[in-house]
Structure 1
Amino acid sequence: MIMLHCFLHCTNGLHDPIPLPHQQPVVIGRSPITRIPDKNLSRKQVELTADCHKKEVHVRQLGCNPCKVGNRLLARGDTATATESVTLCVLADKYEHYFKFKTRQSCNISSSNETTPKRKAGHDGSGEKVKRRRVDDVNKKEDSDGSDSEHMEAVKKQLKLLKENMKKAPVGGDMKSAPGTRREHVDKTGEAVDDDDTQGAARKGVVEGRPTKEATWKQHDSLMLYTSSGVVGRSKHNHLSLSPGKVFPTHAGDWRILYPEVPGKLKKLFSDGYKIVFLTNQRGIRGGKVKVDEYKEKVSRIVSKLGVPVQVFVSLRSGPYRKPAVGSWTHLRDQANDGIEIDMKKSFYVGDAAGRPKDWAPGKKKDFSCSDRLFALNLNLPFYTPEEYFLGKKPAEYNMPEFDPRKLDASAAPCDPADTRLTPLAQPEVIVFVGFPASGKSYFYREHLQKGGLAGVVAEVCQSMYLDVASKFGVTCRCFVFTTSHQHARHNERFREMTDSTHQAINEMMLHSYRSKFTEPQLSEGFTEIVKINFVPRFRDKKLQSLYTMFLLDK
Structure 2
Amino acid sequence: MSCSLVSNTGARIVLEDGRAVIVGRGPDTGVTDKRCSRHQVKLVACFAEQNVVVTQLGPNPSFLEGQELGRGQSGKLSHGGTLYLVNQSHPFTANFSLSSNGTAANMPKRGLKVTDKTKSTGNRRENEAQSSPTPKRSIKDFFSASPVKSSKRRLSPERGHPEPKRQRRDEDSSDRAMDEEEEERLAEEKLQQLQEFAAKSAAKESKAIEASPSSSSANACVKSSWQQTGNLLVYTAAGVTASEKIAGFDIDGCIITTKSGKVFPTAPDDWKILYPEIQPKLASLLKKGYKVVFFTNQLGIAKGKLRPEVFKSKVEDILTTLQLPVQVFVATGPGVYRKPVTGMWTHLCEKANDGVAVDLQQSFFVGDAAGRPENWAPGKKKKDFSCSDRLFALNIGLQFHTPEEFFLGWKSAPFSLPDFNPRELDSASRLYDPPSASLTSSHTEVVVAVGYPASGKSTFFHAHIIPKGYVYVNRDTLGSWQKCVAACERALRKGRSVAIDNTNPDLESRKRYVDVAKAAGASCRCFHFSASLELAKHNNRFREMAPSDSKHAKVNDMVFHSYKKHFVAPALSEGFSEILQIHFVPDFKDRQSEVLFRQFSEG
Kindly indicate whether residue 505 of structure 2 is the aligned counterpart of residue 463 of structure 1: no
Matched residue, 1:539: 588
1:240 aligns with 2:249: yes
Distance 1:524 1:280 in 2: 52
CA contact (8 A) 2:335 2:541 kept: yes
Larger-Rg structure = 1
SS at match of 2:527: strand
Checking the alignment, whether the CA contact within 8 Å between 1:439 and 1:488 is kept in structure 2 is yes
Distance across 1 between alignment mates of 2:216 and 2:460: 49
In structure 2, what is the Cα distance between the partners aligned to 1:463 and 1:423?
Answer: 19
Counterparts of 1:207 and 1:82, CA distance in 2? 24
The match for 1:276 is: 292
Task: Indicate yes or no: 2:430 matched with 1:383.
Answer: no
Counterparts in 2 of 1:295-314, with a 5 A limit?
295-314=311-330
Deviations 1:13-33 (A, max 9, x none): xxxxxxxxxxxxxxxxxxxxx
1:452: Cα distance to partner? 5.2
2:232 to 204, 223, 227: 223
Q: How does 1:30-109 map to 2 (within 5 A)?
A: 70-71=17-18
AA partner of residue 375 (structure 2): D
Distance 1:545 1:539 in 2: 6
Structure 1 residue corresponding to 2:543, chosen from 496, 499, 502:
496
How many angstroms apart in 1 are the aligned matches of 2:216 and 2:584? 45
Deviation at 1:240, TM superposition (A): 0.7
* Counterpart mapping for 1:118-517 below 5 A: 210-243=219-252, 247=257, 249-362=265-378, 363-425=380-442, 427-451=443-467, 454-455=470-471, 456-460=498-502, 461=504, 462-499=509-546, 500-517=549-566
AA matched with 1:464: K
SS at 2:580 equivalent: strand
SS of the counterpart of 2:286?
helix
Letter in 1 for 2:401: Y
Cα distance 1:224–1:321, how it changes in 2: closer, same or farther (>3 A)? Answer: same
Give the letter aligned to residue 243 of structure 1: D
Q: Can you list the C-alpha shifts for 1:191-231, whole angstroms capped at 9, x where unaligned?
A: xxxxxxx9999979x99771122222221111111111111
* 3-state secondary structure, aligned to 2:271: coil
Query: What is the identity percentage for the equivalent residue pairs of Structure 1 and Structure 2?
Result: 45
Match of 2:164 in 1: none
User: TM-score normalised to the size of structure 2?
Assistant: 0.58
Change (3 A) 1:294 1:247: farther
| Distance change in 2, residues 1:72/1:271 (3 Å) | farther
Residues 424, 453 of structure 1: 8 Å contact kept? no
> How many Å separate the matches in 2 of 1:207 and 1:392?
30
Shift of 1:478: 1.2
Higher helix residue share: 2
Could you tell me whether the CA contact under 8 Å between 1:424 and 1:454 is conserved in 2? no
CA shift at 1:291, angstroms? 2.8
2:563 paired with 1:553: no
Q: Distance in 2 between matches of 1:277 and 1:210?
A: 17
Q: By how many angstroms is 1:463 displaced?
A: 0.7
Distance across 1 between alignment mates of 2:347 and 2:446: 48
Distance 1:360 1:83, change over 3 A: closer
Distance in structure 1 (CA, Å) of the matches to 2:424 and 2:217 = 38
Deviation at 1:331, TM superposition (A): 1.4
SS of 2:257's partner is: coil
RMSD: 3.3
The residue type equivalent to 1:398 in the other structure is F
Once residues 528 and 491 of structure 1 are traced to their aligned partners in structure 2, the CA distance between those partners, rounded to angstroms, is: 32
8 Å contact from structure 2 (residues 297, 339) kept in 1: yes
Amino acid at match of 2:18: N
How far apart are 1:247 and its partner, in Å? 3.2
Q: Is the partner of 1:457 in helix, strand or coil? A: strand
Conserved? CA contact 2:209–2:286, under 8 Å: no
SS in 1 for 2:361: coil
Matches of 1:242 and 1:297 in 2, distance apart?
A: 14
Superposed CA deviations along residues 370-403 of structure 1, whole A, max 9, x for unmatched, are 1111111110111111111111111111121121
Secondary structure at the aligned position of 1:345 is classed as: helix
Paired AA for residue 227 in structure 2: K
Q: Partner of 1:303: helix, strand, or coil?
A: helix
Match of 1:480, SS state, is strand
- 1:269–1:259 distance in 2 versus 1, CA, 3 Å: same
Q: Distance in 2 between matches of 1:211 and 1:502?
A: 43
Measured against aligned partners, the alpha-carbon deviations of 1:509-543 in whole angstroms (never above 9, x if no partner) come to 21111111111011111111111111111213011
Q: Structure 2: how far apart are the matches of 1:503 and 1:394?
A: 45
Q: Within 2, Cα distance between the matches of 1:336 and 1:101?
A: 47
Structure 1 residue 82: Cα displacement:
8.2
Deviation at 1:418, TM superposition (A): 2.0
| Counterpart residue type for residue 468 of structure 1 | D
- Matched residues in 1 for 2:212 and 2:240: separation? 18
Instruction: Quote how far apart the aligned CAs of 1:137 are.
Output: 7.4
Q: Is the 8 A contact 1:251 1:294 kept in 2?
A: no
* Bigger shift: residues 276-285 or 289-298: 289-298
Q: Name the CA shift for 1:515/1:369 in 2 (closer, same or farther; >3 Å).
A: same
| Number of residue pairs the alignment of both structures matches | 378
Output the amino acid matched with 1:71.
G
Q: Which amino acid aligns with 1:532?
A: Q
The 3 A distance-change label for structure 1 pair 213 and 432 is: same
Following superposition, the deviation at residue 83 of structure 1 comes to 5.9
Distance 1:220 1:99, change over 3 A: farther
Letter in 1 for 2:399: P
Deviation at 1:312, TM superposition (A): 1.0
Per the alignment, do residues 201 and 453 of structure 1 end up closer, same or farther by CA in structure 2, a change over 3 Å counting? farther
The Cα of 1:275 is off from its aligned counterpart by: 0.6
Q: Taking structure 1 as reference, are residues 219 and 247 closer, same or farther at Cα in structure 2, changes over 3 Å only?
A: farther
The change in CA–CA distance for 1:400 and 1:337 in structure 2 (over 3 A counts) is: same
3-state SS, counterpart of residue 260 of structure 1? coil
Distance 2:309 2:212 in 1: 38
The 1-side partners of 2:318 and 2:424 are apart by: 40
The code of the aligned residue for 1:225 comes to V
Of 569, 572, 579, 1:530 maps to: 579
Deviation per residue, 1:405-461 (Å, 9 max, x gap): 011111110002122212322x11111110011100011112223355655311121
Residue 349 and residue 547 in structure 1: after superposition, are their counterparts in 2 closer, same or farther (change >3 A)?
A: same
**Do the aligned partners of residues 83 and 305 (structure 1) sit closer, same or farther apart at CA in structure 2, a change above 3 Å counting?**
closer
CA distance in 2, matches of 1:201, 1:229: 16
Distance 1:201 1:278, change over 3 A: closer
Counterpart Cα distance in 1 of 2:251 and 2:351: 21
Return the offset for 1:244. 6.6
**TM-score (normalizing by structure 1):** 0.63
- Is residue 432–residue 457 contact of structure 1 (8 Å, CA) maintained in 2? yes
Distance, in Å, in 2 between the alignment partners of 1:437 and 1:84 is 61
**Given residue 545 of structure 1, which amino acid in structure 2 is its aligned partner?**
E
Mapped partners of 1:256, 1:403: distance in 2: 36
User: How far, CA to CA, are the matches of 1:464 and 1:524 in structure 2?
Assistant: 11
Q: What amino acid is aligned across from residue 473 of structure 1 in structure 2? A: A
Unaligned runs of 5+ in 1: 1-8, 10-68, 74-80, 87-97, 104-135, 139-197
Partner residue, 1:518: 567
